[in-house]
Structure 1
Amino acid sequence: MHTPHSSSPPGNGATAAHQGQREGSPAPDPIVIADWKARLEATPEAIRALLDAAVAEAGPALADHFYDRLLADARAARFLTIEQVQQRLKPSLQRWLADLLSARVGDIDALWATQEHVGHVHARIGIPVDLVGRGARVVKQELYARLRALAPDADTALEATVTAGALLDIALESMTSAYARSREIAGQIDGSFRLFSLIQNVSTERERQRALLLGWENALLYTLTGEQAGDPQGLLLSRSEFGLWFLHKGLASFGDSAETREVTALTTRIDQLLLERLPHANDIAARRLLLDEVRELAGQIRSLVLVMFDGIGDLESGRDALTRLLNRRFLPTILRREIALQANTGRQFALLMLDLDHFKDINDTHGHEAGDRALQHVAALLVDNTRGSDYLFRFGGEEFVVVLGSVGRSESLVIAEALRRAIATSPLKLGEGHEVPLTASIGVALQDGHPDYERLLARADAAMYHAKRTGRDRVVEASDGLPVPPGAMLLGG
């Protein structure tokens, strides 16, 4: 995945997103590095050989014990599947142990970088740190038993055990440090997002959501006072424009509060009433009674939403200066939340990665001002052709990201195709009747339950790259067989 900087550039001048540099990691902790070096320098070759033999012989069994213990905890089901464990994670754990216990002093920088990476991934996914500690404890116990069985005498077994324990502890210390830093940064950004205006004009958005809720009520009134009651699935508040906005944006903006919890409970209650009673409301009187109850609950929701909007104070800026879309600072926050929402509710979401075709030619032929106008024009098209519950980001340069909440495969592809068509049929109008044709290549990746948002971003990126390679102006769905784009990197953190 292309590496984002902390915010999108105002214009498009030096905007090759594929040339981004990975966000810098902190320098290695000198105390950890010194301890690591001292431990490795003090390890005799005979002990190294014993450690190598133990890992070579017991590696598969150690991996089995580690993941058996983790999978016994119900929390691990959110992060691990049997297929992942068997095909990828067990071999990775064996390699990790072999690299750690056979390392030399010259390998320390690489070892530290590995623990940094693992710690950041664990934090990004949200694996409980105690699960990792429990697995490490199991590995130690099994490894110590194997060392005692292989050692020629008790003194050698003791020295090998102490050495192995120290190396594992140093690695876990480095990993935990990276985990803590990553979680702290994520927490700060998530906190900022609570204060960040997803809404450019608070009063306008408040009235818009009030109107959407009233519109849903009017549609319900029309249906319930008609000859036929209709299908309750099409009347659910949670599936309305207001309901989707509240689920994907309202909760993220206002956070966990008494008001948001009450709105959630009232929405659930309304949906339950419609599902349980509407199919049996065979006369106008029964439907009117149901309508009165639902409208009373909806009135409570309106009051609570007004209270939440009134509580918004000064909000931090988090928009791209040129397009006024969200900048990528909050993309990890949104993706983590959508992944958690999918895990808790089963509602899938999709990510679209969109890149303007031949954007450099626009800059070279018409100037950077025209390029900036093209970006603003496409941003407006994205706003006009997506739902209020979707998130729109300028990812960098001529790249955009769209997060579609509560969609399946077919719906995400339909929306992506509609965006492609809207861009292709809406050229940028310059002065004196000149027009600049625009097209976009779009990659679509549907969330499949994997807890790491980096994987979803990488899949959408690969699909977009394939769309560009195979002719541009097209939509490509992510699949496992697509090649990784050249120069692709992780977001980091």
Structure 2
Amino acid sequence: MNNVTSHNADAESSALVIDWKNSLAAAGPQASQVLADLGDQHAAELAAHFYKVMMNDTRASRSLSHDQVRGRLQPAMQRWVGDLLRANPDNVESLIAAQRVVGDVHARVGIPVDLVTRGTRVLKQRMFTLIAESAGHGKAAHAAIASLTASFDIALEGMTLAYSNARDRSSRTDAAYRLFSLVQNVSTERERQRALLLDWENTLLYALASQGEVAGFQPLAQSEFGLWFTHKGIPSFGESSETQQINALVSGVDQLLQHTLNRDSEPSSRALQLQEVRTKVSQIRNLLGMLFERIGELDAGCDALTNLLNRRFLPTVLRREIDLAHKSNGSFAVLLLDLDHFKAINDEHGHEAGDRALQHVASILNQFTRGSDYVFRYGGEEFVVVLVAVEEQQALVIAEGLCRRIHDAPVPLSDEQRLSITASIGVALYDGHPDYERVMARADAAMYQAKKQGRNRVILGTDSLPPAPGLSPLQRR
């Protein structure tokens, strides 16, 4: 958040704090006690009621699985309701800060604002009924309802403020990432993808010419080219008629392979179907060339030392991978790598040696991950790898391989010495939670455990691991 945005947000938060304190003061102690009793007695019931209503909406159920509701979200909602009902002048500032965190989470997950508004309306209606049942319709009850309405409205305003700011930042970062990814080694990437497409076609030709069985042949969508186009090509070029046509052509090719070529052993029929496949692949190649030709020479930066992706683009990538995983019922993994004893390298060999070590590791990560994967310089001596379309075992095999390669490849220094280096790696598999910070937190916790258990190892992140130091209680929720 830039300084202007931060200053404006702080000023607006201060105004909300003042309004909330004034509302509580106007309500009086009796009304405050009515609301506090409501929180003590009915917070769990209200949270359950909220999610029962929300899960009937298909947009909400996309982001909120039943397991997640029971295991984490419903208890968090219960705490949120209880905190609001027990609001007092001494804690409203921390409550506003909490609403800001909630708004940021909603923005990351992509929960529509109207769903949040509906949720607060549902809760207020239920609370009005409970207040009438417990306090009747006297002065204290009316004051409690007025105070409750103000508290919920102010909390929602605080959430919306943070939500709007976060969405604005995300939109700017997404646009910047698109420009950045478009200009990274354009000519090299174009030729690489053309070669991958040609290699896939030639492999198919060989299988058919040798009368081989193509039932197990790799579909185009799952080939190196297909994974690159889905996970990197589309977000780079943007959604367009050309990208949609390429997607349709890829699906058409794979349908031909699955439904026709595998069942028909007649050479003449195979030749006709093969020609149709080659025609579609040729169309893909032409459309891809058109997309690359549109790319202008743009000035876009990356990590100056390692030439890896900048960490500010990580949320953009993770949001898209979560969306793709949801649509395809697939998964992905995050690897968080930290170079071991890096401070000692700088202290004993100088910062030039440290820089060489970072560049060396970046080269290994680029060389031994797939073209569809993402490699980031996360900061300092930390790196992040996003492995697309993988399951747990495959992610662990790749992580172990990277750990071993870093250990087995000493860093060449300028004085012809070779510096041994190792890395601790935390692995976290996407588990369906819509907030990308959850998978990052599990990778961080796993990496921290790898450090504690002796370094130079890979640890799989699970919910049973204690969180890594440095997370606030709000971030751990």
Normalising to structure 2: TM-score of the pair? 0.94
State the Cα distance separating 1:26 from its structure 2 match.
Answer: 3.8
Question: Which region of structure 1 is more displaced relative to structure 2, 257-266 or 35-44?
Answer: 35-44
From 337, 354, 363, the equivalent of 1:371 is 354
8 Å Cα contact 2:391/2:429 also seen in 1: yes
**Match of 2:187, as an amino acid?**
S
**Match of 1:99, as an amino acid?**
D
Query: Which residues of 2 match residues 382-461 of structure 1 at below 5 A?
Result: 382-461=365-444
**1:83 maps to 2:74:** no
The match for 2:152 is: 168
State the Cα distance separating 1:152 from its structure 2 match.
Answer: 4.5
Q: Percent identity?
A: 51
Measured in 1, the distance between the counterparts of 2:69 and 2:446 equals: 26
State the Cα distance separating 1:354 from its structure 2 match.
Answer: 0.7
State the Cα distance separating 1:328 from its structure 2 match.
Answer: 0.3
The match for 1:227 is: 211
- Tell me the secondary structure at the aligned position of residue 469 of structure 2: coil
1:135/1:431 CA distance change after superposition, 3 Å: closer
The one-character-per-residue Cα deviations of 1:305-332 (angstroms, maximum 9, x if unpaired) are 1111111124352410000000101000
From 293, 296, 300, the equivalent of 1:317 is 300
8 Å Cα contact 2:364/2:405 also seen in 1: yes
Question: Which region of structure 1 is more displaced relative to structure 2, 278-287 or 87-96?
Answer: 87-96
Measured in 1, the distance between the counterparts of 2:335 and 2:292 equals: 30
The match for 2:225 is: 242
**1:359 maps to 2:342:** yes
Question: Which region of structure 1 is more displaced relative to structure 2, 219-228 or 198-207?
Answer: 198-207
State the Cα distance separating 1:154 from its structure 2 match.
Answer: 3.3
Question: Which region of structure 1 is more displaced relative to structure 2, 51-60 or 40-49?
Answer: 51-60
Query: Which residues of 2 match residues 85-124 of structure 1 at below 5 A?
Result: 85-124=69-108
8 Å Cα contact 1:441/1:473 also seen in 2: yes
- Tell me the secondary structure at the aligned position of residue 402 of structure 1: strand
- Tell me the secondary structure at the aligned position of residue 352 of structure 1: strand
State the Cα distance separating 1:418 from its structure 2 match.
Answer: 1.2
Measured in 2, the distance between the counterparts of 1:393 and 1:371 equals: 17
Query: Which residues of 2 match residues 137-176 of structure 1 at below 5 A?
Result: 137-176=121-160
The match for 1:55 is: 39
Measured in 1, the distance between the counterparts of 2:136 and 2:235 equals: 60
**Match of 2:197, as an amino acid?**
L
State the Cα distance separating 1:199 from its structure 2 match.
Answer: 5.2
The one-character-per-residue Cα deviations of 1:21-64 (angstroms, maximum 9, x if unpaired) are xx999415143222112112212111111111223233232222
Measured in 2, the distance between the counterparts of 1:416 and 1:370 equals: 25
1:121/1:432 CA distance change after superposition, 3 Å: closer
1:228/1:466 CA distance change after superposition, 3 Å: same
**Match of 2:80, as an amino acid?**
W
The match for 1:74 is: 58
The match for 2:177 is: 193
Measured in 1, the distance between the counterparts of 2:196 and 2:140 equals: 74
The match for 2:240 is: 257
**1:180 maps to 2:164:** yes
**Match of 1:405, as an amino acid?**
V
- Tell me the secondary structure at the aligned position of residue 326 of structure 2: helix
The match for 1:471 is: 454
Normalising to structure 1: TM-score of the pair? 0.91
State the Cα distance separating 1:84 from its structure 2 match.
Answer: 2.5
**1:348 maps to 2:331:** yes
The match for 2:309 is: 326
Measured in 2, the distance between the counterparts of 1:87 and 1:378 equals: 38
The match for 2:463 is: 480
State the Cα distance separating 1:187 from its structure 2 match.
Answer: 1.1
The match for 1:20 is: none
The match for 1:135 is: 119
- Tell me the secondary structure at the aligned position of residue 336 of structure 2: strand
**Match of 1:364, as an amino acid?**
D
- Tell me the secondary structure at the aligned position of residue 309 of structure 2: coil
- Tell me the secondary structure at the aligned position of residue 43 of structure 1: helix
From 189, 196, 201, the equivalent of 1:205 is 189
Question: Which region of structure 1 is more displaced relative to structure 2, 183-192 or 83-92?
Answer: 83-92
Measured in 1, the distance between the counterparts of 2:137 and 2:355 equals: 74
For structure 1, the residue ranges without an aligned partner over 5 or more in a row are 7-22
Structure 1 or 2: larger helix share? 2
The one-character-per-residue Cα deviations of 1:389-434 (angstroms, maximum 9, x if unpaired) are 0000000111000001011111111111111111111101124431
The match for 1:10 is: none
The one-character-per-residue Cα deviations of 1:70-124 (angstroms, maximum 9, x if unpaired) are 0111222222122322333333223222222222222121011010000101111
Measured in 1, the distance between the counterparts of 2:369 and 2:295 equals: 25
Measured in 2, the distance between the counterparts of 1:286 and 1:347 equals: 35
Measured in 2, the distance between the counterparts of 1:150 and 1:354 equals: 56
The match for 1:18 is: none
8 Å Cα contact 1:197/1:315 also seen in 2: no
Measured in 2, the distance between the counterparts of 1:56 and 1:435 equals: 64
**1:298 maps to 2:281:** yes
- Tell me the secondary structure at the aligned position of residue 222 of structure 1: helix
8 Å Cα contact 1:197/1:316 also seen in 2: no
State the Cα distance separating 1:356 from its structure 2 match.
Answer: 0.9
CA RMSD after TM alignment: 2.0
From 338, 349, 353, the equivalent of 2:321 is 338
The match for 1:17 is: none
Task: Tell which has more relative contact order, 1 or 2 (C-alpha 8 A, sep 6+).
Answer: 1
Measured in 1, the distance between the counterparts of 2:303 and 2:167 equals: 25
1:488/1:53 CA distance change after superposition, 3 Å: closer
